[in-house]
């Protein structure tokens, strides 16, 4: 039996109804939140004794659109596993709406808080090092390719029984042999103001996605995020490991430069979503997405 089989369809509908009520009332902060990523809000369920991490995706317009995303996500998990990465057991389930749309949830067992990588490094001494540093650098080097992308940021890893586990598969980054992205951007695009969706799809999203299939960019993103997580003292450890995997080493000033531009990009994207939410609420509609709170940079 799968580890997430204990979450019934009724439970999922109850969770989805709770999210809907919170969105309608503008009370997202009351939800049982486990964590925030750049893209999604992760809920813990059941509320009283959370065992499942439930990541709410935007609504898909139809069942087939949902099924197709689900297939890509499962293919992505298989591609990561084929590259030697242990992925948390992951399921994608849908909640059908009266209008035919389907809200997607990516569901995983909750990993113990003390196994999450950012906390481990916060509690460890950079001078003594930690084996998860080299493990992440190696995992990225063996996975990233023209057809498989990886978001190697620390917040996407856990360290269990001396081995790495990957948990962020909601945005499956796969490309076909012709170089076309297999990720359906439509549900993500819906979170932005309508006039901006065409340029976001055409210019911004492909640029962001491409970064995840280029090892140097993946490392810049990983190390840039150390600054965001206030883990700067760990930067030299990572840069030393990375130097063994790249033709040209990364420097601290590369990382600081990248971090400034990346923080700007995500800051702008988040502000656009907040703006769209404010606009929809003012015009009597609901904004059907969960947004992370203010990001401290």
Is 132 in contact with 125 (CB distance < 8 Å)? no
Sequence-ordered list of residues with C-beta below 8 angstroms from that of 262, at least 6 positions apart, any chain:
221, 224
Helix (H) or strand (E) holding 57, with range, is strand 52-60
> Smallest gap, in angstroms, from Cβ of residue 92 to Mg ion?
16
> Smallest gap, in angstroms, from Cβ of residue 214 to ligand ADP?
19
Report the candidate in 73, 79, 86, 148 with the shortest Cα–Cα distance to residue 115: 86
d(CA 66, CA 219): 31
| Options 19, 42, 85, 140; binder of ligand ADP; rule CB under 6 A | 42
> Smallest gap, in angstroms, from Cβ of residue 263 to ligand ADP?
15
Secondary structure, 3-state, 76-136: HHHHHHHCCCCECCCEEEEEECCCCCEEEEEEEECCCHHHEHHHHHHHCCCCCCCHHHHHH
Token pair in block for residue 297: 């940079």
> Smallest gap, in angstroms, from Cβ of residue 56 to ligand ADP?
10
Contact letters for Mg ion, residues 22-61 (x by CB under 5 A): ---------------x------------------------
Q: With contacts defined by CB under 6 A, name the span among 36-44, 133-141, 191-199, 239-247 that binds ligand ADP.
A: 36-44
Token pair in block for residue 45: 């369920």
| Options 7, 12, 34, 164; binder of ligand ADP; rule CB under 6 A | 34
| Options 72, 170, 181, 223; binder of ligand ADP; rule CB under 6 A | 170
Binds 134: which of Mg ion, ligand ADP, none (CB < 5-8 Å by kind):
none
Is 57 in contact with 65 (CB distance < 8 Å)? no
Token pair in block for residue 127: 């001078």
d(CA 28, CA 146): 38
| Options 4, 72, 101, 108; binder of ligand ADP; rule CB under 6 A | 108
Within 137-166, which residues bind Mg ion (CB under 5 A)? 156
Using DSSP, state whether 165 is helix, strand or coil: strand
Regarding 241 and contact with ligand ADP (CB under 6 A), the answer is no
> Smallest gap, in angstroms, from Cβ of residue 177 to ligand ADP?
26
| Options 156, 181, 225, 237; binder of ligand ADP; rule CB under 6 A | 156
Residues in touch with ligand ADP (CB under 6 A)? 34-35, 37-40, 42, 53, 55, 88, 108, 110-111, 116, 155-156, 167-168, 170-171
Residues in touch with Mg ion (CB under 5 A)? 37, 156, 168
């Amino acid at each position: 039996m799968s580890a997430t089989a204990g979450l019934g369809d009724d439970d999922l509908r109850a969770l989805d109804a709770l999210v809907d009520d919170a969105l309608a009332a503008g009370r997202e902060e009351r939800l049982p939140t486990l964590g925030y990523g750049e893209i999604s809000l992760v809920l813990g369920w059941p509320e009283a004794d959370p065992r499942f991490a439930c990541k709410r995706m935007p609504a898909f317009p139809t069942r087939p659109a949902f099924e197709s995303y689900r297939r890509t996500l499962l293919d992505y998990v298989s591609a990561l596993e084929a590259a030697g990465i242990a992925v948390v057991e992951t399921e994608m389930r849908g909640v059908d709406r009266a209008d035919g749309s389907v809200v997607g949830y990516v569901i995983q067992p909750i990993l113990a808080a003390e196994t999450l990588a950012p906390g481990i490094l916060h509690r460890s001494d950079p001078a003594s090092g930690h084996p998860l540093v080299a493990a992440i650098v190696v995992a990225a080097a063996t996975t990233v390719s023209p057809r498989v992308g990886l978001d190697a940021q620390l917040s996407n890893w856990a360290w269990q029984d001396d081995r790495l586990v990957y948990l962020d598969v909601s945005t499956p980054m796969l490309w076909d042999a012709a170089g076309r992205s297999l990720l359906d951007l439509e549900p993500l695009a819906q979170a932005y103001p309508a006039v901006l969706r065409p340029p976001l799809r055409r210019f911004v999203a492909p640029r962001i996605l491409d970064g995840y299939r280029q090892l140097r960019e993946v490392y810049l993103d990983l190390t840039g995020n150390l600054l965001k997580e206030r883990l700067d003292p760990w930067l030299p450890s990572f840069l030393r490991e990375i130097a063994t995997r790249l033709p040209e080493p990364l420097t601290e000033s590369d990382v600081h430069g990248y971090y400034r531009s990346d923080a700007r990009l995500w800051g702008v994207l988040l502000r656009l979503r907040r703006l769209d939410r404010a606009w929809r609420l003012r015009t009597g509609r609901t904004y059907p997405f969960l947004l992370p709170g203010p990001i401290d940079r």
